[in-house]
Amino acid sequence: MKILGIETTCDETAAAIVAHDEEGGASILANEVLSQIAEHAAYGGVVPEIAARAHVEVLDRLIDRALDRAGLGLDDLDGIAVAAGPGLIGGVLIGLVTAKTLALVTRKPLLAVNHLEAHALTARLTDGLAFPYLLLLASGGHTQLVAVKGVGQYVRLGGTIDDAIGEAFDKVAKLLGLGYPGGPEVERMAEAGDPERFGLPRPMLGRREADFSLSGLKTALRIEAERIAPLAERDVADLCASFQAAITDVVVDRARVALRAFSGVAGHPTALVAAGGVSANGAIRRALASLAGEAGLAFVAPPLQLCGDNGAMIAWAGLERLRLGLTDDLTVPARARWPF
């Protein structure tokens, strides 16, 4: 089975081809990603209208490139998968209309994939992981702890009541005058910093529900930054290190609570899985790996190029859905919001 996957929900335009055969397992035949970071950097965040225009300009060529790289033509595909949301609606529409057109002219099945579900299923593409597993999905727009029981079977164990984790990284980076997106910048600065210089709060620590609240942490950091302004490079590094340490403690504590709740809804997990852009963060990865170790579980996180938004995860989620006969027709809507 060979599936084309299209991703245009935010600021990456991506097209990929994933193949699966019963003997050889899954493989990524092409994974083309064009980031629009440069186009949005001046604004310190993603501008929806700029994003949509940029997707239109490059998507068809990117699909051609993915097909070339895989040595395939459109007729060789078994299905066309696309992220139909959640995301910036202008971008989602461009991906969806493109996918519908391709499905119409090639008469191949259309697979309208939830972007979050695609992040959630990536560990099955990369590691052949069996259900059920505990997922921490942490990106720029989403923070959730989810029991993944099967394709389409997700039980939410916790989420954020204010900022998403990636959003908190991005806001802190902006506040400290670092570049966009903020996560990688904060992580880079934190390497040289002292994580204990600022005693930042660990919101929600010890709470019985696996929820997050991060806006207080961000505010505490702002107050410290204003107190010691003007900031030298050393101060910025120490603030980044202190912030990253606080958020890592919170993530581990919340994941521990979710692990405890897991058996009540889904039995024994096969693994603890991290997905979404934030799972690229080394400190968070190491801390989650050690939590999994304590619990006697495997820790699985996608390789870095599959942590952020990409087409391979969309193709894979489409493939999983196609195997179950979960195809869509041409009336399927683009969704700005789409809980999973």
Interface ranges with ligand KG4 (CB under 6 A):
10, 139-141, 166-167, 169-170, 181-184, 187, 276-278, 280-281, 308-309
119 appears as a binding residue in the annotation: yes
Question: Residue 299 and residue 153: Cα distance in Å, rounded?
Answer: 21
For Zn ion, the binding residues in 27-86 under the rule CB under 5 A are none
Q: Is 324 annotated as a binding residue?
A: no
Shortest reach from residue 112's CB to ligand KG4, in Å = 17
Which three-class secondary structure state does DSSP give residue 240? helix
Compute how many other C-beta atoms are within 10 angstroms of the C-beta atom of residue 315.
Answer: 38
Is 199 marked within a binding site?
no
Which of Zn ion, ligand KG4, none sits in contact with 122, Cβ below 5 to 8 A by type? Answer: none
> How far is it, in rounded angstroms, from Cα 266 to Cα 245?
30
In terms of DSSP bridges, do strands 298-300 and 271-275 run parallel, antiparallel, or are they unpaired?
parallel
Find out whether 258 is annotated in a ligand binding site. no
Stretch that binds Zn ion, among 36-44, 54-62, 136-144, 176-184 (CB under 5 A): 136-144
115 is in an annotated binding site: yes
* # of chain residues touching Zn ion (CB under 5 A): 2
Minimum CB–partner distance for residue 9 and Zn ion (Å):
7
141 touches, from Zn ion, ligand KG4, none (C-beta below 5 to 8 Å by class): ligand KG4
**Would you say 137 and 163 are in contact if contact means Cβ atoms under 8 Å apart?**
no
143 is a site residue for Zn ion (CB under 5 A): no
Q: What distance in Å separates the CA atoms of residue 235 and residue 179, rounded to the nearest whole number?
A: 16
Instruction: Please indicate if the annotation marks 187 as binding a ligand.
Output: yes
Q: Examine residue 309 and tell whether it contacts Zn ion (CB under 5 A).
A: yes
Name which of Zn ion, ligand KG4, none residue 195 binds, using a CB cut-off of 5 to 8 Å depending on partner kind.
Answer: none
d(CA 284, CA 278): 8
Residue placing its CB nearer to Zn ion in the complex, 11 or 187: 11
Residues in CB range of 79: below 8 A, 6 or more apart: 1, 3, 4, 108, 109, 110, 111, 318, 319, 322, 327
Residue ranges in the chain assigned as alpha helix (H): 37-41, 48-70, 89-106, 115-127, 165-175, 182-190, 215-228, 233-266, 282-294, 311-323
Return the number of the residue (91 or 183) whose C-beta is nearest ligand KG4: 183
Q: Which does 183 bind (CB under 5 to 8 A by kind): ligand KG4, Zn ion, none?
A: ligand KG4
Q: Closer to Zn ion at the Cβ: 108 or 119?
A: 119
The answer to whether 170 and 217 are in contact (CB under 8 A) is no
CA distance 210 to 206: 9
- Least separation in angstroms between CB 87 and ligand KG4: 7
183 annotated as ligand-binding: yes
Separation CA 77–CA 303 (nearest Å)? 25
Give the Cβ contact number of residue 196 at 10 Å: 10
| Residue 281 counted as an annotated binding residue | yes
For binding to Zn ion (CB under 5 A), which residues are involved? 139, 309
Binding-site entries: 115, 119, 137-141, 170, 183, 187, 281, 309
Binding-site entries for substrate: 137-141, 170, 183, 187, 281
